[in-house]
Amino acid sequence: MADGVLGYEVAEGVATLTLNRPDKRNALDRTLVVALKEALERAGTDESVRVVALRGAGPDFCSGADLAELERIAEMGERESLADARFLGDLFVRMRRHPRPLVAVVHGHALAGGCGLATACDLVLAHEEAELGYPEVRLGFVPAMVMTILRRRVGEARAFELVARGHRVSAPEAERIGLVNRVFEGSSFDAEVGSYLEELAARPASAVRLAKGLLYELDELGFHDGIERAAEVNVEARRSDACREGVRRFLERRSRGS
């Protein structure tokens, strides 16, 4: 990965992408965003990868935008600023369209763009002492690029409260409002995360891919079109080798009374 800012490792069907700027609290800059895009493309074409986990090196997941980036943003003209915003937005679109489930593994702080990066993943697992939030409003800024995803994850009222107040929320509170899927105790965090990722990676890849694709495709469809598209995906799933094998094993177990 570019300049070593992002680690990439594959084991047991899980590709682990590790933000590797611990001295900067894994703050996002253009180099790191480029590295993330490259790593996601690599994982998406590797048949051995079934799940992508996103983690942070050091004490934090990601503290947001790099200070140097903030200084640069403040001096940008309108066109340059729009292009820069779209550059980050493109990362979120790629994450949404990625064929594998993306899992953010959050410890320490996930703030501003770092919280946005976690929210853009399909699933979020958090350490019990982690803190998440969108403090941009305190600087007169808006976490605009993640809003489309955030309102779908937690609902409009929760999303507005998070971005308008700019307060940090604990991992248990984040789980309660739907920002986080699971919270694990610190003493068993790595083991619990490992088990979760292992279990997800063991699911038939074709079924998981179809489920993720349909889930997000429904955003763009009305009710009746959504049902019709679901029927098409249903047929595709039924015709897969994984489904046929799964049904065969299920019926064999039933016939044995197990």
Work out the angle at residue 143's Cα, subtended by the Cα atoms of residues 142 and 144, and round it to the nearest 5 degrees. 85
* C-alpha span between 105 and 121 (Å, rounded): 10
Round to whole Å and give the CA distance between 31 and 138.
Answer: 26
Residues 49 and 10: beta-carbon distance below 8 Å: yes
By annotation, the residues acting in catalysis are 136
137: Cβ contacts below 8 Å, ≥ 6 apart = 163, 164, 165, 166
* Count, residues in the chain: 258
Confirm if 112 and 134 have CB atoms less than 8 A apart. Answer: yes
Query: Which amino acid, 171?
Result: A
Residue 167 CA: distances (Å) to CA of 5, 134, 223, 227: 28, 7, 36, 39
Using only the alpha carbons of the chain, give its radius of gyration: 19
Burial class (CB in 10 A: 0-12, 13-18, 19+), 139: exposed
Q: Can you state the percent helix, strand and coil of the chain, rounding each to 5?
A: 60, 15, 25
Tokens of 36: 């993330």
